[in-house]
Structure 1
Amino acid sequence: MQQRYVGASGLRVSRLALGAMTWGKDTDEHEARDQLIAFVEAGGTLVDTAHIYGDGASEELLGRLVGDVVTRDDVVIATKAGFGVRRGHATYDASRGTILAALDLSLRRLGVDHVDLWQMHVWDDRTPLDETLAALDTAVSSGRVAYIGISNYSGWQTAQAATWQRAVPGRAPITSTQVEYSLVNRAVEDEVLPAARATGLGVLPYSPLGKGVLTGKYRTGTPSGSRGASEHAGMLEEYLDDRGRGIVEAVVRAADGLGWTPLEVALVWVRDRPGVTAPIVGARTAAHLRAALATEAKELPPEIRVALDDVSGSGE
């Protein structure tokens, strides 16, 4: 698999990332093992998890597999902190004590002495930004983290955090931003992507298949066992409107004309957008992951790319 530098940094990763959000919950150890083996055998390196995923089960499962089925040097481990759930309510806490404690717990779960990319999961309005960024510096200077990133930051938040870190020599520069980005959700093109480009950040898109909508599987209903049939069904509603259906039909037509699958069309479109380092692919099974890995040798013809840009709303 082709490798790309993450933004202006020296960190190199595979141009597809493996998402482990469902590991230890919807994805059991057997499936996770098969996914990780298939991913690494295909040349994949970047595996993304978070302190909150599966209440820690995702990190623990990844930690058991690293050193067992793959070596530590085979993978670039990315995790996140700053977002949690307390008594059933989402919490946003990027204070120094909270995130550094979360990092130490992540390291224990993962069974490693450092993570390659540590990301702030969300923006925290109540914690001063300089406190959060100083904690990121501490994580790097202590050797617990190699590179730092952000996630779900708006355009101005991205620019402010990245500029702050580059303003004074010796601070750890922000390397990446992780955001939702797909043919059915191009909102980040207005402000976030320009901010990332201006400050040298690599972009790691999550939900590159529009939460599964762009695979075409919801065209005629909701398959049993799919995300739409689960407790996550409400997450899909915004992409199942007339606009979303129009984009899906365009993707299906493009796939038919190319002899590809809709998944391949949608994923390659995101993968090759300006500034994108690696879309994060979360798969329920190793078979689903292999379908995504099959995109490696594919490239969208310019006329198809332009047509998809037009039907989904230009963000250039």
Structure 2
Amino acid sequence: MSVIKTLTLGTRQVPALCLGTWAWGDKHVWDYQEDRDYKNLQQTWKACEELGLSFFDTAEIYGYGESERIIGKLLKDSSEGYRKKVVIATKYLPFPHPGNWFFFRPAIVNALKKSLERLGVDQVELYQIHGATSLPFHTYEAQGQQLAECQKSGMAKQVGVSNFNKDELIKMYDVLKKHGVQLASNQVEFSLLRTLPEDSGLFAAMKERNIALLACKSSALPLLLSAYT
């Protein structure tokens, strides 16, 4: 078994490599077919266990919850030792979609409860807002209050955001700080071909506030955690 390096995410140590699971169960973009693909995912999961890769990133919108259900099923069938090592990050999509219709207030806490049910766990390591939104009534304060509650309730060990630019990140960081919660991470697309997060000053703002970078689409690996050391 290889040893996966750990890096700092917020106040905790997590595996430096994370496997993205957008394609798991997604029929519309990735043409997932259970009778054809599930056995492959079982083999992938087993390979991750053998390699010591235990960090998985999913979202409620991936396959409209199917990605989370698949992870929950694979987790249930895993050895007790591996189940204890698995680290899960998932995300809330701040837009109306099947299973998450809302209009007057964010549904972040309830969405996390549904994700936990699909995953078959009581707690995830990281719960993220999938993107910033300017929908009426969905202010940063309203979203930040519910995101903070996800951590304070114990349903998420840490909270983060995804696809936030510099200004959006700072606004959410400030709101969470008022609620006594540290913003742990921001998941953004970053590679040698896409350097906007660095050029825009986003990275500098994150480093100043001790916010970790979850870099997606950075290489052949779906997700690479970069931390400031």
Q: TM-score, normalised by structure 1?
A: 0.61
Q: Distance in 2 between matches of 1:86 and 1:173?
A: 28
Could you list the runs of 5+ residues in structure 2 that have no partner in the other structure? Answer: none
Residue correspondence of structure 1 range 34-183 to structure 2 within 5 A: 34-70=43-79, 71-84=82-95, 86=97, 96-126=105-135, 127-166=138-177, 168=178, 171-183=180-192
Q: Radius of gyration: which is bigger? A: 1
Could you list the runs of 5+ residues in structure 1 that have no partner in the other structure? Answer: 210-262, 279-316
Matched residue SS, 2:77: coil
Q: Distance in 2 between matches of 1:41 and 1:153?
A: 34
Superimposed CA distance per residue, residues 62-90 of structure 1 (whole angstroms, 9 cap, x where no aligned partner): 00011312543121100000245649xxx
Q: Is the CA contact (8 Å cut-off) linking 1:163 and 1:199 kept in structure 2?
A: no
Matched residue SS, 1:66: helix
Matched residue SS, 2:157: strand
1:202 aligns with 2:212: yes
Matched residue SS, 1:12: strand
Matched residue SS, 1:56: helix
Which runs of at least 4 in structure 1 moved beyond 3 Å after TM superposition?
Answer: 83-87, 91-97
Shift of 1:165: 2.3
1:192 aligns with 2:192: no
- Judging changes above 3 Å, is the alpha-carbon distance between structure 1 residues 29 and 98 closer, same or farther for their aligned structure 2 residues? same
Q: Distance in 1 between matches of 2:49 and 2:105?
A: 34
Q: Distance in 2 between matches of 1:163 and 1:85?
A: 26
Q: Which amino acid aligns with 1:204?
A: L
Structure 2 counterpart of 1:276: 226
Shift of 1:47: 0.3
Structure 2 counterpart of 1:4: 7
- Judging changes above 3 Å, is the alpha-carbon distance between structure 1 residues 202 and 194 closer, same or farther for their aligned structure 2 residues? same
Q: Is the CA contact (8 Å cut-off) linking 2:106 and 2:143 kept in structure 1?
A: no
Q: Distance in 1 between matches of 2:205 and 2:103?
A: 21
- Judging changes above 3 Å, is the alpha-carbon distance between structure 1 residues 96 and 173 closer, same or farther for their aligned structure 2 residues? farther
Q: Is the CA contact (8 Å cut-off) linking 1:118 and 1:145 kept in structure 2?
A: yes
Q: Distance in 1 between matches of 2:103 and 2:14?
A: 26
- Over the matched positions of the two proteins, sequence identity in percent amounts to 29
Superimposed CA distance per residue, residues 75-109 of structure 1 (whole angstroms, 9 cap, x where no aligned partner): 1100000245649xxx9979754222211110110
Count of residues in Structure 1 that have an aligned counterpart in Structure 2: 210
Superimposed CA distance per residue, residues 21-72 of structure 1 (whole angstroms, 9 cap, x where no aligned partner): 0001345321222222222322222100000001111000000011312543
Structure 2 counterpart of 1:24: 25
- Judging changes above 3 Å, is the alpha-carbon distance between structure 1 residues 132 and 85 closer, same or farther for their aligned structure 2 residues? closer
Q: Which amino acid aligns with 1:19?
A: G
Matched residue SS, 2:109: helix
Q: Distance in 2 between matches of 1:135 and 1:96?
A: 10
